[in-house]
Amino acid sequence: MIFTRFYFWAFFAIVLLIYSLLANKRVGRSLFIFAASLFFYYKTSGFFFFLLLFSTITDYLIGFKIHKSSKEINKKLWVALSVFINLSVLAYFKYSYFITDAINDMFGTELTTRNFLAEFSNLLTGSSFDTAKIFLPVGISFFTFQTISYAVDVYRKKLKPVKNIIDFGFYVSFFPQLVAGPIVRAADFIPQIYKKFSLSRYDFGMAIFLILKGLIKKIMIGDYVAVNFVDRIFSNPDMYTGFESLLAMFGYSLQVYVDFSGYTDMAIGVALLMGFRLPINFNSPYKARNPGEFWSRWHISLSSWLKDYLYIPLGGNRSAGFGTYINLFVVLAVITLLSGQWWVAVILVCVCFVVGVFMRFFYKFRRHIETNINRMVTMLLGGLWHGASWNFILWGGINGLGVVWYKYWRKISPWENSNHWVATAWKIALTLSFITFTRVFFRAPDYDTATTMLRLIGTDFNAALIPQILWGYRKVVLMMIFGFTTHWLSYSFKDTWRDKFINSPHYLQAIISIVIIFIVYQSICAGMQPFIYFQF
C-alpha cells in the first residue's frame, strides 16, 4: 500500500469511485474516508491500526475536556495529558530498545522488552505475533504530532473541538498523508471537512501533475541513484575511494530530497483529487543560501511544527525558561545513556555548572546562551525525533551549530547583502555542502561507517582516479546532474511548463501521463525501494 505500487492505485481508484458518489454527502464521505483510511493503515501496518484508533479516541475526548474546562490550570493539565500520552506511546514503540539496552549497560540488569499490542492481538484474535519484538508502527511519528497539535490548538482557541468522532478520525487517519506526512494542523484541515466538495479543472490538472512529478522523483531519480551507487558505498565504504564516498554523500542528499518530496507531491496530489488541500512540505531547499533558510524550506510541516509547538513556547530567541532546561536535561540524559558511561554524566554536569556560573556573572555571555539555547535544544530534539542514536544526535547538533554560527557570521560577512549571481551561487554551494556533510550521520547505519567515510575523504581521496570513477558511474552521475539541475531551475520556468500541462486538453494529459508512467517504470532496476521516511 505505497504510492509506487499497483495495489495502492487500484485501492485509490475504488476509493475515488465510491467517494465521487458521496462527495456531496458530508457525513457519508467522512465515514467512508475514515473507514477506507483504517483499511489502508491495516493493510500497511496490520493490527497497529488499534493504536491509531486509541490515539484518535483519546485526543477526541481530551479536546472536549480542554474546551469545557473553566479554569486555566485544568486546561493546561488536559493539554499536558495529551502530550504525555502521545509522547509515551511514541517513546514506547520508538525508543524501548534504546532505553532498555542503556539501562542494562549502565546498571548490569537484564531487562527485556515486551510488545503489549502483540499480546493484545494474540489474546483477541488468536494470532501468533512474537511478543518479544517491538516493531515501529508506520507513521506513528506523524499522527501523534497531529493529535498533539489538535489538543494545543483547541487550548489556544484556534478551533473548537470536533463534535463528531468520525470527522476527527477522518482528520487523524486521512490516508494520503497518514504514513509520512506532511504533518497537517487541525486548524488548517478540519474546516475543509465541512466544506462542499469542489475540484476545478486547474486543481485536477495540478493533482495529476504532482503525482507524475512525485513518481519521476522517487523512482526514476531517487531509486536509481540509491540502488546503483549510494547504497553500495554506504554499506561498505572501505571498498571505495574517498572521492566515491564524497560523491555518494551528494548522491544521498539528492536521493533523500526526491524520495521524501516525491512522496509528499503524490500525497498532495491524491488529496487534491478528493478536494482537500495539504500544506506544501518542500520549497526548493537546495536553493537555500544559509542553514537557517534551508530549514525553512525543508520538511516545512515538521520544521514549522517544532517552531510553533516547541521553539516558541520555550521562549524562542528571547529567553530560556523552565521548559528549556527540562528539555535540555532530557537531551543530556539521552547522551549519557547512549554513552553507557557514568563519567559522561559527570563531565556534562561539570560543563553545565561552569556555564551556569558564567551566565550568573557575565550578562553578555548569558544573553548569547539564552538567545541560542532554544535553537540547539529544538534541533537536538528534532534529531531525536528521527531516532535515538549517536548519529541522529550528531546530525541534529551539527545542524543546530550551523544555524547558530550563521547568525553571527552574517553580521561580519562581506557578501551577506550581495545579490550578485556569483555570491548567490557560492552561498548555495556552501549551504548544500554543509547539509550534505551532516547527512553522512543521517544515512550511515552507524557511527563507525560515518567516520570511515569522512576519514577516506581526507586521507584516501585518490584524485587521479576521478575521471575513471566518473566514467564508470556515468549513468548515475548524469542522473545526479539531471536531478540537481531541474531542482535549480527558476520558479518561473518550472511554473510555465506546469501550467502548460494543466491547461492542456484532457486527452493530451492522458497521453503524457501514460508515456511518463511507462518511462518511469522502465527505469526500475531492482525491487521497489521503500520510502526513506517510512522508518521514522
Tens of pLDDT along 404-413? 899 888 888 8
Cβ neighbourhood burial of 212 (10 Å; 0-12, 13-18, 19+)? buried
Mean pLDDT of 465-487: 92
Other beta carbons within 10 Å of 516: 16
Q: What is the DSSP letter of 479?
A: H
Does the pLDDT of residue 79 top 80, yes or no?
yes
> pTM of the entire structure?
0.88
pLDDT of residue 138: 78
For residues 2-27, give the mean pLDDT. Answer: 86
The more confidently predicted of residues 217 and 345 is 217
Q: What is the tens place of the pLDDT at every residue in 123-148?
A: 776 767 777 777 777 778 888 888 99
Is residue 534 over pLDDT 70?
A: no
pLDDT of residue 183: 86
| pLDDT value at 527 more than 70 | no
pLDDT at 392: 87
Assess whether the previous peptide bond of 182 is cis (omega < 30° from 0). Answer: yes
Confidence of residue 535 (pLDDT cuts 50, 70, 90): low
Cα gap 153→162, rounded to integer Å: 12
pLDDT of residue 100: 81
pLDDT, position 526: 61
Q: Can you tell me the distance from the alpha carbon of 210 to that of 267, in angstroms, rounded to the nearest whole number?
A: 9
Residues 6+ apart with CB under 8 A from 529: 222, 223, 226, 227
Residue 427 is predicted with a pLDDT of: 93
Buried b or exposed e, range 450-463, using 16+ CB within 10 angstroms:
bebbbebbeeebee
- Is the per-residue pLDDT at 477 higher than 90? yes
Distance CA 343, CA 182 (A): 41
Lowest-confidence region among 37-51, 287-301, 491-505: 37-51
Task: With a cut of 70, say whether residue 536 has pLDDT above it.
Answer: no
Mean model confidence pLDDT for the chain: 86
Give the whole-angstrom CA distance, residue 122 versus residue 145: 29
431 pLDDT tier (thresholds 50, 70, 90): very high
425 CB-near residues (< 8 Å, 6+ apart): none
User: Using CA atoms in the order 248, 252, 253, 256, what is the torsion angle rounded to 10 degrees?
Assistant: 180
Residue of 157, 207, 178, 213 whose CA lies nearest to 52: 178
Closest residue by Cα to residue 369 from 330, 410, 318, 335? 318
Among 15-29, 305-319, 506-520, top mean pLDDT goes to: 506-520
- pLDDT (0 to 100) of residue 525: 64
Q: Would the pLDDT of 255 be above 70?
A: yes
Look at residue 219 and tell me whether its pLDDT is greater than 80. Answer: yes
